[in-house]
Structure formats: C-alpha cells, structure tokens
Amino acid sequence: MKDNWLNKLMIAAGLFALIIIIGLVTMRKPAFRYKLTEKETLAAVLSADDQLSIDKAKEILQSKTSEYQFVDIRTPYEFIKGHIDGALNIPLSNLFSEENYDFLKQSGKENKTLVLYGMDQSQANAPWMLLKQLGIKKARILQGGYAFLMAAIPALPDTMPFKGYDSEIARYNYVELVKGLSKADQVSSQKAAPQKLITKPKPKSNSPAAGGC
C-alpha cells in the first residue's frame, strides 16, 4: 500500500524535475545583458572621456582616419538632408535590431570607436549610455550633436574654444533673473560669479536675460 504512494510520488517528482529541465534546455538566452554595473556606468558617465569634443571631431574629419565610425541615429530623412562625412545611418528605432546590434558589437571588437550623434547631444545620450552598459566599450558620444558640429565647422581654423554646444551649461543667471534686477546689477554680479554666467552668444537668448523676465 505504502509503496503504491511512493511510486506515484516518484513519477510526480520525476515529471516535476523533467518540466524544469525542459524549461532550462529550451530557455532563450536574453539578447541583451548589462556588462557594466551601475557604479561603473556612473563613473563612465561622469568622466568626460567618452565624450568626443567638437575639436577632436574636427580633427578626425580632417585626418579622415578610419579609427572612428560616426553613427547617425536620426531618421533617414534627416540623414539625407545632411550628415557627417562617412557616417552610417542607423535610426534609433533600429539601433538595437539584431543585425545592427551585431554590427555595433563587431565594430567594437575591431577596435573601432563608434561615435554616436543625433541632432543635439541629448538625442544620442540615452542610446549611447545603453550601448555602453551593454558592453560596447568603445562607444562615444559627439558633444553637442550634429547641429553644433555644423555650426562649428565654418570656424575650423579657429582655435578659440567653442562653448555653445553644451546644453548643461546654465545659459541664464537664474538668480538674477528671478530677482528681476536691472541690467546694471546683472553686469556687476556677472563679475562676482563668472562661472555661473556663461551666456550663449546668440542674441535671441541674451536679450531676455537682460530683460529680467
């Protein structure tokens, strides 16, 4: 009698184990896995090493070295309207498709540096961070994006540092703006805290700042 139950148990336990084993065998490997930990990612993101400066980009374009591969993540329409010489168009919606992702991984292995860019830097920021975390070590991002590179290119021989590309620089003196002080006051405070007040050289943004509000 007792043996009878035991036989049933053996069959049931065997089936249970079998289901698990079948599950393990047929399990699909995930296509994407994080290779960097959060801490490593944060360190990579905080250091400026992975940002390709405009000056460096200009250098690369002049020397036409094949070490760098520009990847344009904008839509094909935008790409046709104008792009960096030698850039490859992989729209963001297809960036992680199987063949494109394989290609990106491959070029990473070939010691090629991938330089991602969009219209502005923020467009390429998240895709770049993801590629980085997925283990494509040599992924870089073009500082300022396409628009600012184009704006800087006419000034190619110019060695003057071009600061306008970084959207993270405070364009306005927030404090003064909010206080609504007069123009004269702002100028004096500009001297007191110069690092706060890097104004964009565009007249459009300059005048409201002066206006106080």
Partner 1 sequence: MNTSSTEDRGKRYLNPYFGGFLLGLVLLATMFVTGRGLGASGAVKSTVVQAVNTISPAHVEKSKYYSQFISDDIHPMSNWLVFEILGVLAGAFVSGALAGRLKFKVEHSPKITSRTRLIMASLGGLMFGIGSQFGRGCTSGAALSGMASMATSGFIAMMAIFGSAYMFAYLFRKFWI
Partner 2 sequence: MNKKYVFLAGLLILLGIGLAVLPSRQHPKETDPAQLINEIKDQTRFLSTDEIARKIIEKDPSYMYVDVREPAEFNSFTLPGAVNVPLSQLLDSANMILLNQKVKSVVFFSNGDITAEKAWLLCRRMGFNHLYIMQGGLNYWIETIMNPPVPPATAPSQDFDTYEFRKGACAYFGGGSAATSVETKSPQQKVVVKPKKNSAPAAGGC
Partner 3 sequence: MIGPLIPQGIIGAEWSNVSGLVLGMGFGYVLESSGFSSSRKLAGVFYGYDFVVLKVFFTAAITAMVGLLYFSYLSWIDFNMIYINPAFLTSAIIGGIIMGLGFIMGGFCPGTSFCGAAIGKIDAMIFTLGMFVGIILFSEAFPLLEKIYYGGPMGNSLVNEVLGISQGLFALILIVVAIGAFIVATIVEKRVKKVDY
Q: Which residues contact partner 3 (rule: CB under 8 A)? A: 16, 20, 23-24, 27
Sheet of 139-142: strands edge to edge?
51-52, 139-142, 113-117, 68-72, 88-89
* 1 part of the interface to partner 1, by CB under 8 A: yes
* 15 part of the interface to partner 2, by CB under 8 A: no
Whether the Cβ atoms of residue 119 and residue 74 lie closer than 8 Å to each other: yes
Among 11, 13, 150, 187, binds partner 2 (CB under 8 A): 13
Contacts of 70 (CB under 8 A, 6+ apart): 84, 86, 87, 88, 115, 117, 142
With CA atoms as reference, report the closest residue to 209 among 167, 188, 180, 166: 180
With CA atoms as reference, report the closest residue to 58 among 170, 127, 160, 171: 160
Among 9, 22, 126, 210, binds partner 1 (CB under 8 A): 9
Pairing outcome for strands 51-52 and 113-117: unpaired
Q: CB under 8 A: which stretch of 8-16, 118-126, 133-141, 155-163 binds partner 1?
A: 8-16
Minimum distance, C-beta of residue 4 to partner 3, in the bound complex (Å): 14
Which spans of this chain sit near partner 2 (rule: CB under 8 A)?
2-3, 6-7, 9-10, 13-14, 17, 20, 24, 30-34, 38-39, 41-42, 45-46, 92-93, 95-96, 121-122, 125-127, 129-130, 133-134, 166-172, 174-175, 177-178, 180-182, 196, 205, 208, 210-213
Which residues here bind partner 1, judged by CB under 8 A?
1-2, 4-6, 8-9, 12-13, 16
